[in-house]
Amino acid sequence: MESANHWSQIASDYEINVKVAEQSDAEAITWLLRNAPFSHVHADWHYPSDWLGERTFVVIPGLDTLPNKKPYPARFFGSQSPIRSCLTVAADPGPAAWVRLAAVHKKAGGEKMMASMFAAVEGPLLEEKITQIAWLLVDDWPESWLFDLGFDQINEVITYSKLGTDIPRFNNPSNLEIRPVQEADLAALAEIEVRAFEPLWRNSVLSLSRARQQTLSFDVALINAKPVAFQFSSSTLRGAHLARITVDPSVQGSGIGSALLAHTLKGYAQIGITTVTLNTQLDNINSQHFYEKFGFEVTRERFPVWSIQL
């Protein structure tokens, strides 16, 4: 529990009351995430309300809602909110978890509030056998605090873009079938994720199921009726985003990934999409070479990944 002790020390001498976020807090949390000058949302295929009531979703009430103080009216007004900070750390799946939601209503005292919330969620995370917390920095406001909170930068997410849906020549495996995913496929796909990725980058059956309900396309590649790879994509204002392509390590290098990506690009072209983006990790050199072979070019967008071991 070294990190909890560290977080508690940072938060000392500061009036902070941390509590689990409840359904009755939903409106105030929504307001805070939309209006706070320092907020972060990394929910993937979930909604913030999915975590209400979980012990790893905590809030700090406004000073006027603390015990022995006059409460806010039932419906808050103006720039005042009965919630001044919130934090959600959720794993899907474990043993790694991401900071999914975070917000503080002002910079002054923000690090102490964040430390208090991290200290409050660590116990429940350890009970769930979570060993790592990661934060994907889509904005730079938390960076000045993260080192003091015990985090280190471990990676960067980089973005690629492609204009057009042209496809290079590749060897198409003769016994490969590609079809839209079915709910019955998802358990096998989650197992492929375990074999292909470190815990931080995996999708669970639940995440895959939620993605299936929201994606532009979701296809599975099979050999002899056995799932060996899959992709899913989402719509963007500019076109499509290839959110995921995973190939079972046992068949990597056999042309399955190329066939699946070619199939996906053809699907985009059929509905008039010509601009495609995707993300990968800075240290995933193999994936970078794979996407570059298909004409994707790296952009200037980079998002640092910070992490702490519990």
Instruction: Give the distance from CA 170 to its chain's centroid.
Output: 32
Extended strands (E) in the chain: 19-20, 38-41, 57-61, 83-90, 96-104, 132-136, 152-163, 176-180, 217-223, 226-235, 240-247, 275-281, 297-309
- What is the pLDDT confidence band of residue 243, given thresholds at 50, 70 and 90? very high
List the chain domain ranges.
2-150, 159-304
Closest CA to 38 of 90, 98, 87: 87
Average of pLDDT values for 133-140?
96
Distance CA 44, CA 258 (A): 25
pLDDT digits (tens, 9 = 90+) for 191-239: 999 999 999 999 999 999 999 999 999 999 999 999 999 999 999 998 9
What superfamily does domain 2-150 belong to in CATH?
A: Gcn5-related N-acetyltransferase (GNAT) (3.40.630.30)
Extended strands (E) in 164-216: 176-180
- Which residues have C-beta within 8 Å of that of residue 285, sequence separation ≥ 6? none
- Which residues have C-beta within 8 Å of that of residue 35, sequence separation ≥ 6? 79, 81
Share of the chain above pLDDT 70, in %: 92
- The pLDDT score that the predictor gives to residue 8 is 85
Amino acid at 289: H
Which tops the pLDDT comparison, 74 or 60? 60
Distance CA 196, CA 247 (A): 7
Q: What are 168's strand-pairing partners?
A: none
* Pair type for strands 57-61 and 132-136: unpaired
- The pLDDT score that the predictor gives to residue 13 is 59
CATH architecture of 159-304: 3-Layer(aba) Sandwich (3.40)
- The pLDDT score that the predictor gives to residue 64 is 52
Closest CA to 286 of 203, 197, 190: 197
- The pLDDT score that the predictor gives to residue 68 is 43
Domains 2-150 and 159-304 share a fold: yes
Average of pLDDT values for 137-147?
93
Distance CA 268, CA 290 (A): 19
pLDDT digits (tens, 9 = 90+) for 152-193: 999 999 999 999 989 998 888 889 999 999 999 999 999 999
pLDDT digits (tens, 9 = 90+) for 67-111: 444 443 434 333 456 899 999 999 989 999 999 999 999 888 899
- The pLDDT score that the predictor gives to residue 12 is 73
Average pLDDT across the chain, whole number: 91
- What is the pLDDT confidence band of residue 14, given thresholds at 50, 70 and 90? low
